[in-house]
Amino acid sequence: MLQSIRALLVTLIAALGTTHGWAQMTQTAPAPAAEEAISAQIRKAYEPLDNADVMRALPIGVFDSGTGGLTVLEQLVTSDAFDNRTHRPGPDGRPDFEHERFVFLADQANMPYGQYPGLGKRQFLEELSIMDAHFLMGGGNVRPPAAEPGGENRRPAKIVVIACNTATAYGQRRIESCVARAGVDVEVVGVIDAGAQGAIEQIGDGPATIGVLATKGTVASGAYPEALRAEVESRGLAGPIHVVQQGSLALAGAIDGAPEFISIGGRRPRRDYRGPSPSHAEDRIDRSIISRYDFDYSAGAMLFDGDRRNPRDLQINSVENYVAYDATSLLESVRKAGRQAPLKVVILGCTHFPFYAEAFAGEFKRLYDCQENGRYVYRAFMAEQIILVDPAVHTARIVYRRLADDNRLASAAPPSPARSEFYVTVPRAEHPGVQVDASGWFRHDYKYGRNTALQQDDVRTVPFRSELLGRDVDRRLRTAVPTVGQLLDEFRRQQQSAADHR
């Protein structure tokens, strides 16, 4: 009987996967042996936990391809959108998840995910997503450095939050199928439907243009246009709603300091740069509109040879300039689309982007005021005040509702150890064939040249340490996600205390 129920669950999830065009990309053929093994491991992790009280005490699991997912965790930790006693909408002055513990995984070794689809690695990306979820559901050994305690006693998550738009677009249905095959009752929540809900709430019933700023992979999936159309239909709105997307090649990687996009202390163009440039085949810096980008050239923020007014090469070398490039490119697309409804709302469709929400807001204000020959370039195509939508806000609401409906909200404060745990993947340099650069991270060609991720052994998962990511990233985290920063400090202290008592 149990096997029949599991088979039915898999069939139902496959059917649900056909309701959105972007979900049809998922695998419907029988799972490979490695995926079957993962499902079996997930089943084993939950077998001794088949008790309502135990399930309520399990953590909320969150994963992303890098640190951007911490913006989602910040919303989960600080959200106050419901009355904790009645579960009805409306703040009560207490955090919605006040008694919950969290487990966060950043797959830093394999980030950014947004580039895999364009390089023909969609299957690999789906498998990375499965491995991330597998870790949160009790699988995957934590391999700490010799001086650090591990995470050997980690408990599996009662709900899995995909805090990555690209992983949601390509991996959510595969993860759900894997979970159903395991026969465990654990929901998987992605950020794309949440972002679509938030955008539609902002525009009301009138015509509007919605902009989507996301990674190349997320844009290529068509996930946001499909989710927005579905949301409009479900609400019975008149519309029409136009969607214009800007697929960012490099911003997520630049925010996390990926060396192919940011050269610390660089002063001249370099051969290993892979971001937008005047000669880039797809992401071209258009010299004819160079003034519209309004790039900052100070302190090596742009790398070039020759005369700045007519450089032989031009490379972006600061996060702020990447923001300027993507915001301007989005408005150029809106302008070229002609006189449809003005741009009113922009979805920050990558969890890294909310770190720079103020920078985006400033760029849209600059573009609204941008003039050439005494005429405004973009005003006819955009609202004076662009509303930025962070899907994380709405993801937190969805997670609360799911847990409340399933009676799985924690009923008491979590005991020691730490309220939250944080992990990050790093390359296993000693693994045969692994290629790393001078900074210790995968070389670009190696990272994007692999064909399978299931049960991969070229990365290890270690407790989160700020020195792994650099001072700039750590400083940004403390500023942009202060509550999560406090939880990180608490986790680090407990890790150190455990190490001292070894």
d(CA 147, CA 369): 55
Residues 135/184, Cβ–Cβ less than 8 Å: no
- Give, in order, the Cα–Cα distances in Å from 330 to each of 141, 260, 381: 42, 23, 11
Report CA Rg, the chain: 23
| pLDDT cut 90: percent of the chain above it | 66
Task: Give DSSP secondary structure letters for 355-370.
Answer: GGHHHHHHHHHHHHT-
Residues 137/155, Cβ–Cβ less than 8 Å: no
- The model's confidence at residue 346, banded by pLDDT at 50, 70 and 90, is very high
Residues 429/216, Cβ–Cβ less than 8 Å: no
At residue 20, the pLDDT reads 33
Q: Over the stretch 47-79, which tens digit does the pLDDT of each residue have?
A: 988 788 889 999 999 999 988 899 999 999 999
- Give, in order, the Cα–Cα distances in Å from 15 to each of 20, 24, 192, 225: 10, 10, 19, 20
Looking up tokens 């302190």, which residue turns up?
299
pLDDT of residue 28 exceeding 50, the answer is: no
Looking up tokens 């309220």, which residue turns up?
419
Lowest mean pLDDT among 88-102, 138-152, 330-344: 138-152
Q: Residues 6 or more apart from 380 whose CB is under 8 A from it?
A: 339, 342
Two structure tokens written together for 316 = 């972006």
Three-state DSSP at 148 gives: coil
Q: Over the stretch 220-268, which tens digit does the pLDDT of each residue have?
A: 999 999 999 999 999 888 778 899 999 999 999 999 888 899 998 888 9
At residue 498, the pLDDT reads 74
- The model's confidence at residue 21, banded by pLDDT at 50, 70 and 90, is very low
Two structure tokens written together for 291 = 């003034």
Q: Over the stretch 289-341, which tens digit does the pLDDT of each residue have?
A: 999 999 999 999 999 988 887 888 999 999 999 999 999 999 999 999 987 89
Longest alpha-carbon distance in the chain: 75
d(CA 249, CA 271): 17
Two structure tokens written together for 73 = 């965790």
- The model's confidence at residue 219, banded by pLDDT at 50, 70 and 90, is very high
Average pLDDT over the chain reads 87
Three-state DSSP at 424 gives: strand
